[in-house]
Structure 1
Amino acid sequence: MSTAELTPEQSVAWQAAQRLWGVRMHPPAVLPDAGRPSFSWFGFPPAITFDPALLAREGGAGHLVSVFAHELGHHVLAPSTRLDGLKIDYQMARTIAASDPGHVLDVREEAAHLANLWEDLVINERVVRAQRAAAPSAEPDLIALWRALSAPVLAQGPQGAEADPAWWVYLRAYERLWRLPAGTLCDPHEPHLFREAARRAAAEAEGQIAAAGAKVGNLDQEGARADLAQQLFAEADAVLLADTVRRFGADPVAGAAPCGMILAPYLVVSRRLREQRQRAALAGQPGQTGQPGQGAPAEGAGNVACAADPGAAPTAGELARVLADARLRERLIHPVDALAGEQADSATDGPDDGTGATAATRSSGQSFGIAETLELFAGADPDAVMAAWYEAEARPWVSPLQRRGEASAAPELPGPLELWETGEDLSDIDWPATLAGGTVVVPGVTTVRRTFLADEPSRAEVPVALDLYIDSSGSMMSPQQGSPAVLAGMILALSVLRGGGRVRTTSFSSAGQVAGTADFSRERVEIVKGLTTYFGGGTTFPLDLLAQRYLASRPRRGEERHLVVLTDTGYVSLLGHGQEQFAEVAARVRAHVADATMVIDGRVSDEERTDAAAVGYELIEVAGMEGAPAVCARLAAKIAGRSTR
């Protein structure tokens, strides 16, 4: 579809919008009758497109400056960059996961929707503030635009509010931000009926599931009970949403989480109500969400937020930078609970215990796991997503891992000057120091030489070569479910890489199921791919490969290798159980490595520990994801200490 050039009027509006932000950008593309749900949208690399025909039909043709200023705000403020856009999407996905235990929402779709609503809030507040500063006596043009855009929903009265309560909260937040009288952009009465209807819908869903007694309904029952626990007070949430914009207007990534915690529950209950109405319609029953005699209101009427072009799927580098942001790992707390916690701290004059017990139903410490992250970034390379996620999980435990090499003599330190006497070696004379005392040189009287002092010998820091094997049999947790073994391996691998060392990763399962890096490497993506390769078969350690690597060839001269195996009870195959022809390999290889350690996901008996120790292998237990970081941090320290000469 071809684009048109800006008209003179549009060019003037574009220049005015740039002046409002103090930026310069190439002109927007004009795409009449584009068939998009919004009349303007943005994308990265920085680009803005608008549909003048749809804008005119929506009643916004006379507000081009505000339309352009809003879209410029996406490139200046929220999200401002593609990376921050991905971070805001991730924040919103976390809040949906925390608010939707029944999984009724499409996470990718709704996360993008919430992200755009939040970004629009932040931008529009800044634009109105700038327009008021430029013309204090006039109504800001952006407010006039929103009057026109919200008129269709406002005309529906209470029915419009009931149709989309999240949109009512959103518009009411604008009224509070811009100090507008109630009823300017949305019905002046909050949607009380929605709250009652939500309880009825949840109770009905729970009753139906309980009557059916179907196992498949467990998740729906959990979601119904969650809906019953929801306390959605639209006016109070609008106040909180406006306050969130004021507090986080300069940090949209951090503010996305509290915004999502406010709005996501409305999306969940709205979806359940919509499903209830659909079931009632199929059964020939009247709608049950409005007043007696009313039918079901229109769905989501008036939701006219602008849109963002999704662009290409994130790359491995982008994913690593996005998930490395610590703001994406902070505990999710609903703003009302954050406020209650601050008040409790003030009343008790003590520290917050972090439990969030004041209103547990509206806060969540639920993590956004690897499975959810893979779902959110479904278009990206799964290996890149897993690498970024595990690296972010491991990062707090990573520290440079090096070994201390042989001591080497340090160079002598310059000492004081002393008299050079006749008969001594002429090359010892320090001529600059001698001539500094005068131009007349008298041997043995004015000649001096430099003395030198011995220094302590220094030890060179030598990078570690880590040979890492990970069990990917069916008894081990899949990397896509949050594997403790993969996290443990990531901590060790990143510690070695940060210390300048090299890593070789090998994933193994049944005989012949082996993958990973052929040699030691510093290529992070390849190393992580070896860690996250999952076969799900039996357990046969590749002793033939181990023998080939250590017994059939010599390691690099001066290189000290450290062998680590991440496994569960299948570790016995490493000692030759089930492959007796290689029974001596583990013991023979032990002589070629500085350390040999097996990190076991599970319990190890004293007898098993003794058997492993007999061939020189240490066993370390790790009980699930929670124990992996501490165990591997201690293992890294042990490797470094063992290498001290």
Structure 2
Amino acid sequence: MNWREKWPEALRAWGRFTKVHDPDYCVSTSDAKAAGLTGSFAMFRLNDRTVVLDMQSVAELGLGDMPVEVMAHEIGHHVLCPADLADNARLLSRVRRGVPGFEQAAPLVANLYADMLINDRLQRSRGLRMAELYERITAPRPTPLWTFYMRAYEILWSLESGTLTRGEVTEELEGHAQLCARLVRVYATDWLRGAGGFAALCFHYLATGPDGTDALSGIRRRVCVGVVGDDTHIPGLTAADDEAVVHPALDPQVNEFAPQDAPADEPHAPATSTGQFREPFEYGQLLRQLGLNISDETAAARYYRERAAPHLVRFPMRTKPLSAEPLPEGHSAWDIGEPLEAVDWLATATRSPVVIPGVTTVQAVLGTTEGTEKSRQPVDLDLYVDSSGSMPDPRRRVSYLTLAGAILALSALRVGARVQVTLWSGAKQFLVTDGFVRDDDAIMNVLTGYFGGGTAFPLHMLRRTYLEQERTQPTHIVVISDTGVDTMVRQDDEFGRPGGEISARALAAAGAGGTLVLNVQNSWESTVREILPGWAVHSVSQWRDLVEFAAAFSRAQYERSTA
């Protein structure tokens, strides 16, 4: 059967105006693998909205005469669930909360849920042979999870028990399948709200094997929402999902016998996130389960960049007189070999009606004068972030030092300033950008690093930046730390030069001041002012207050200042 000819019919199953790229018909399984299809005989690639088909696997499964059913199902992932990358991320997040301890199975569970929504719509409303398709591909020795899933289909489509199921249907499994079928109908048009309940039903069957391995071993060639590119940006994932996960047995909309005052949270629902945002490690896990092959460092950089975005503010700007206004100072001879556009033709014609290059031709001589208009000059940022053992690892837990640093650095880049970032801990433990740069990736790579060692401020960086070379661009120095900031004064550099002298001279040479942002007690703040005179000191009582400081830094301290 020619599947290409059936593509328009598959599109019409979802409406006359449905538009999707033509499918990628992969002749062999190896070709399909190269296209990103590894877990199924077909998939919908969300990043470029393309159906990918493994025609070799289709033939092996005996589905060659069901092109409309297979392709219409994949189109359903674009039209109905999950529709796009952002909704797919929300679906996966909700499912992860419903299967605590078995988060590695969340992509499969989310896919099973999306498949059931799509298949029920196609079977009942479009008259496609979805039941026959599953009858052909059902496993001869299914796991309890697959038996539960197939039994729910039988209930949805009023099929006799045994039509799709091959395993034992216990009384408990029958009850779960009834709840599942009811849930799919109730939340058909609000599917995200039902995702947690579906995951809670699957949780029982995932828990039957160690780490869910046995429960998933028989379910193959089922995942049909494809991988996405590693550089794909999916915004909004740092925010935590606060929607309660309710087991369908306790959901009055699904179970009419459920108590109306049933607790909202499922007893096994995890409390993995605190506050309104996910932890960085959760964010990284979610991205990887969405199909992005990224490192912890890259995931952390994306996490803090997204969280910093709402707080970005204008960085300090200084004004100076504009000194480039042209001032005519007369004329000089123009000779052959000089730029032709430099010839002042009016002055040349006035001098002689006969134009002789190099003889009668002249050019204007221009000087400059200080103008009355003002130009704005961005102040560079020199940022030092403490990464000692008292600080959290920004790749695992939220580090407000890293977040505040990201807000300050990205704000500076926004207005054209250059930024140098130094991450520091103990002696010889430091990571720094290649001088003052405008590369936000390089800056975030430094900010999301971690040492977790002792505490020794990198005096050599202050010395190299301000004492061993002349710093012509106005620069503001910001140090984010706690009581460890005293090592700026109470230690010497590797050449025996006192830290207090280096800090004071660096502050003077920077030209735009310096700020110490410290998590210290009020009594300690006065000590800092004594040992580091001239520095502005901003103390916070808890690390999360750094975000407010960073957001207000430019507005409160610098935007009103002029050179």
Which residue pairs with 1:227 in the alignment? none
Query: Given that residues 385 and 481 in structure 2 are in contact (C-alpha distance below 8 angstroms), is that contact kept between their aligned partners in structure 1?
Result: yes
Deviates more, 1:584-593 or 1:239-248: 239-248
Aligned CA distance change for structure 1 residues 473 and 328 (closer, same or farther; 3 Å): closer
2:41 to 39, 42, 46: 39
* Equivalent in the alignment of 1:16: 9
Given the two structures, how large is their TM-score scaled by the length of structure 1?
A: 0.62
CA–CA distance in structure 2, aligned partners of residues 236 and 267 of structure 1: 11
What are the equivalent positions in structure 2 for 1:275-424 lying under 5 Å apart?
275=210, 305-310=222-227, 314-315=230-231, 318=232, 321-322=233-234, 324-325=235-236, 329-334=240-245, 358-359=264-265, 361=267, 366=273, 367-377=277-287, 379-403=293-317, 405-406=319-320
The residue identity in structure 2 corresponding to 1:382 is: D
Distance 1:192 1:55, change over 3 A: farther
8 Å Cα contact 1:39/1:55 also seen in 2: no
Deviations 1:390-417, CA, capped at 9 Å, x for gaps = 11222232233343525889x9xxxxxx
The code of the aligned residue for 1:91 comes to R
Q: Kindly, what percent of the aligned residue pairs are identical?
A: 23
Residues 143 and 261 (structure 1 numbering): CA distance in 2 closer, same or farther, change over 3 Å?
A: same
Which of 148, 166, 171 pairs up with 2:153?
Answer: 171
CA distance 1:245–1:525, change in 2 (3 Å): farther
SS in 1 for 2:308: helix
Query: Cα 1:57–1:546, aligned 2, differ >3 Å: closer, same or farther?
Result: closer
Q: Aligned letter for 1:568?
A: D
Distance 1:469 1:398 in 2: 19
Query: CA 1:463–1:80 in structure 2 vs 1: closer, same or farther (change >3 Å)?
Result: farther
The answer on whether the counterparts of 2:418 and 2:438 sit within 8 Å (CA) in structure 1 is yes
1:141 to 2:144 alignment? no
Q: Distance in 1 between matches of 2:302 and 2:517?
A: 23
Query: 2:411 maps to what in 1?
Result: 495
Deviations 1:276-321 (A, max 9, x none): 999xxxxxxxxxxxxxxxxxx9977677634345466x13xx2xx2
The answer to whether the 8 A contact 2:116-2:184 is kept is no
Q: Which residue matches 1:69?
A: 72
The one-character-per-residue Cα deviations of 1:302-354 (angstroms, maximum 9, x if unpaired) are 77634345466x13xx2xx21x236954423336799889xxxxxxxxxxxxx
Q: CA deviation at 1:498?
A: 2.7
Q: Which of 387, 407, 420 is equivalent to 1:472?
A: 387
Which residue among 155, 158, 161 is the counterpart of 1:181? 158
- Corresponding residue number in structure 2 for 1:114: 109
- Structure 2 segments unaligned to the other structure (5+ residues): 254-261, 326-371
Unaligned runs of at least 5 residues, structure 1: 1-7, 133-138, 196-231, 249-254, 279-296, 342-355, 412-456
Q: Which residue of 1 aligns with 2:200?
A: 265
Structure 1 residue 563, shift from structure 2 partner = 0.9
Q: 2:52 aligns to what?
A: 48
Distance 2:315 2:151 in 1: 52
Deviation larger for 144-153 or 525-534: 144-153
Q: 1:19 to 1:331 in 2, by over 3 A?
A: same
- From the superposition, tell whether residues 365 and 183 of structure 1 become closer, same or farther in structure 2 (CA, over 3 Å): farther
Paired letter, 1:600 = L
1:469 and 1:340 mapped to 2: Cα distance?
55
In the alignment, which residue of structure 2 is the partner of 1:422? none
Q: 1:152 to 1:522 in 2, by over 3 A?
A: same
CA RMSD between the two structures: 4.4
Three-state SS of the structure 1 residue aligned to 2:190 is: helix
| CA apart distance, 1:471 | 1.5
Aligned to 1:632: 550
Q: Does 1:240 align with 2:183?
A: yes
Aligned partner of residue 485 in structure 1, secondary structure:
helix
Q: Does 1:577 find its partner at 2:487? A: no
Give, in angstroms, the shift of residue 486 of structure 1: 0.7
How has the CA–CA distance of structure 1 residues 568 and 24 changed in structure 2, closer, same or farther, with 3 Å as cutoff? closer
Cα pair distance change 1:18/1:30, threshold 3 Å: farther
TM superposition score normalised by structure 2? 0.70
Q: Report the CA distance between 1:567 and its aligned residue.
A: 1.6
Following the alignment from structure 1 to structure 2, what is the Cα–Cα distance between the partners of residues 325 and 633?
20
Once the 2 structures are TM-superposed, how far is the Cα of residue 476 of structure 1 from its aligned partner?
Answer: 1.9
Matching residue of 2:399: 483
2:544 equivalent to 1:618: no
Deviations 1:46-68 (A, max 9, x none): 4512345655646x443221112
How far 1:165 sits from its partner (Å)? 7.2
- Contact 2:245-2:266 at 8 Å conserved across structures: no
Question: How much has 1:504 moved relative to structure 2?
Answer: 1.4
Q: Which residue of 2 aligns with 1:285?
A: none
Q: Over residues 162-199 of structure 1, what are the superposed CA-to-partner deviations in whole Å (9 max), with x where a residue is unaligned?
A: 55576268637x92xxxx43758778x9965259xxxx
The C-alpha deviation readout for 1:461-484, integer Å capped at 9, x for no partner, is 543321111122222221222222
1:494-573 equivalent positions in 2, closer than 5 A: 494-556=410-472, 559-573=473-487
CA contact (8 A) 2:382 2:476 kept: yes
CA contact (8 A) 1:52 1:61 kept: no
How far residue 152 of structure 1 moved from its aligned partner, in angstroms, is 6.7
Change in Cα spacing, 1:171 to 1:394, as seen in structure 2 (3 Å) is farther
Letter in 1 for 2:549: V
Give 3-state SS (helix, strand or coil) of 1:479's partner. coil
Provide the C-alpha distance between the structure 2 equivalents of 1:143 and 1:404, rounded to a whole number of angstroms.
Answer: 71
SS at match of 1:595: strand
Contact 2:61 2:136 in 1 (8 A): no
CA 242–127 in structure 1, closer or farther in 2 if over 3 Å, else same: same
Aligned partner of residue 452 in structure 2, secondary structure: coil
